[in-house]
Each structure stands twice: as structure tokens, then as C-alpha cells.
């Protein structure tokens, strides 16, 4: 195993990263378990690629455990070609580290695995500020659903953070930034849009 994997294991307690997965609490978890090799699992993979802040951790664990059934890290592990693509994306077998620009903060960093974000941005932030911020939005009359939509996270994540359920001490910084950036106006606009559609 590479040094990167060890570092990830240290900083990503299993309960934390799973709770932050974009697939957590999805109404149709079967999307991540294609029952046929003809099923491209397009919808599940799109959620992984577009919304999941822990895609790299998920992919690393799938490779490490030899997962060969579920969609993990945005790839069908049931497909040998996609398993190889997952390993390639994570940088397995690559000897030289490459320099990439962090998509979150813009800093340049060196990585052997193909991470999009630097180590600092992949870290965790304390939940206390999020708890306060979400409850201020809720107290002002915003719904958990509209807050979740604005932050591109699951409604259950917002509810758990609001109630301090599950004893979370910290959450992934990417999610924390998205939630803390929400203003009353943002959420209000989304609520109005939803009302207009309904």
C-alpha cells in the first residue's frame, strides 16, 4: 500500500466518510449494485462523479478490499475494464508523483494518487459551526430539503447535522464549505423556485 492510503486511513474514520457519501440515504441504493453486465449504472456513476466528496476514499477501499460487485469511486467494480480504470485513476502502479492544482483552493500539490483536492481540503472540519448555521436557517423558516438542495447534499445529512445525531465530531471540509456558504437568500430563492414548479 502507498503512503497516501495510510494517510487516508488515519484521517477518515469509517463512520465519517460513509455518512458523507453522496449515495448515503439515497432512495434507490440498488442503483449502485448493477445486476447485469449490460447495466452501465449511469445514474449511480453520475452521482459519484458529480456530488460525492469521498469518492477517492471509497475507491481506495474498494481496491484494497477487492470489491467486484458494487459501483465504487464512480466505477463498476464488476467490470474488469472499469476496475482497471479505477486503479489507474487512483494512481496504483504509477511510480512518479504528479503535480496537480487543487480544485477547491487552487494550491499546487504533489500526489501519486489522482486526487483532485490537496490534503488540507480533504481534511475534516468540526460540526459545531455547521450545526449553528443550519439551525439558524431552519429557525428562519427554511426547510431542510431546500438547504440540502442548495448544498448538494442529502436531506438526511442536513437533519443529522441539525440534530447532532450520530455523534459526528467533524465532517469533510468540502461539505462544510458548501453548507457554510449558504445564505438565507440562497435557500429562499431555491424554495421559491420549488414552489413555482409545484
The footprint of ligand SF4 (CB under 6 A) covers: 21-23, 32, 47-48, 52, 54-55, 58, 71-74
| Total Cβ atoms within 10 A of residue 161 | 25
Q: What whole-number distance in Å separates Cα of residue 158 and Cα of residue 156?
A: 5
CB of 47 to Zn ion, least distance (A): 23
With CB under 5 to 8 Å by kind, the binding choice for 71 among Zn ion, ligand SF4, none is ligand SF4
Site string for Zn ion, 153-172 (x = CB under 5 A): --------------------
Question: Measured from the CB atom, is 57 or 137 closer to Zn ion?
Answer: 57
Apex CA 195: angle with CA 193 and CA 197, to 5°? 70
Does residue 118 touch Zn ion according to CB under 5 A?
yes
Strand 75-76 relative to strand 71-72, pairing: antiparallel
- Of the candidates 63, 121, 134, 144, which one interacts with Zn ion according to CB under 5 A? 121
Nearer to ligand SF4, 23 or 127 (CB): 23
CB of 55 to ligand SF4, least distance (A): 4
Question: With contact defined as beta carbons under 8 Å apart, do 111 and 5 qualify?
Answer: no
Compute the distance between CA of residue 158 and CA of residue 135 in angstroms, rounded to an integer: 10
DSSP state of 93: T
- Contact between 63 and Zn ion by CB under 5 A: the answer reads no
Which of the choices Zn ion, ligand SF4, none does residue 102 contact, using the CB cut-off of 5 to 8 A by kind?
Answer: Zn ion
Is residue 105 at the binding interface for Zn ion, with CB under 5 A as the rule?
Answer: yes
DSSP-assigned letter for residue 170:
E
List 9's β-bridge partners, or say none: none
- Name the DSSP letter for residue 99: E
Pick what 153 binds: ligand SF4, Zn ion, none; C-beta below 5 to 8 Å, kind-dependent.
none
57 vs 137 by CB, closer to ligand SF4: 57
Query: Considering beta carbons, is residue 47 or 187 the nearer one to ligand SF4?
Result: 47
Residue length, the chain?
198
What is the pairing mode between strands 98-101 and 108-111?
antiparallel
**Where along the sequence are the contacts to Zn ion (CB under 5 A)?**
102, 104-105, 107, 118, 121
Amino acid at each position: 500500500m502507498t503512503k497516501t492510503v495510510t494517510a487516508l486511513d488515519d484521517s477518515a474514520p469509517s463512520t465519517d466518510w460513509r455518512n458523507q457519501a453522496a449515495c448515503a440515504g439515497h432512495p434507490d441504493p440498488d442503483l449502485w449494485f448493477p445486476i447485469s453486465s449490460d447495466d452501465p449504472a449511469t445514474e449511480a456513476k453520475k452521482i459519484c462523479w458529480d456530488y460525492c466528496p469521498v469518492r477517492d476514499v471509497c475507491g481506495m477501499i474498494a481496491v484494497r478490499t477487492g470489491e467486484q460487485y458494487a459501483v465504487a469511486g464512480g466505477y463498476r467494480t464488476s467490470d474488469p475494464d472499469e476496475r482497471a480504470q479505477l486503479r489507474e485513476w487512483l494512481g496504483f502502479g504509477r511510480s512518479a508523483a504528479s503535480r496537480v492544482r487543487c480544485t477547491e483552493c487552487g494550491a499546487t500539490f504533489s500526489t501519486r494518487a489522482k486526487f483532485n483536492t490537496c490534503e488540507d481540503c480533504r481534511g475534516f472540519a468540526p460540526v459545531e459551526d455547521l450545526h449553528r448555521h443550519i439551525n439558524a436557517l431552519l429557525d428562519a423558516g427554511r426547510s431542510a430539503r431546500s438547504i440540502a438542495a442548495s448544498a448538494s447534499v442529502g436531506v438526511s445529512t442536513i437533519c443529522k447535522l441539525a440534530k447532532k445525531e450520530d455523534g459526528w465530531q467533524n465532517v469533510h471540509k468540502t461539505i462544510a464549505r458548501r453548507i457554510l456558504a449558504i445564505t438565507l437568500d440562497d435557500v429562499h430563492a431555491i424554495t421559491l423556485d420549488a414552489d413555482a414548479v409545484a
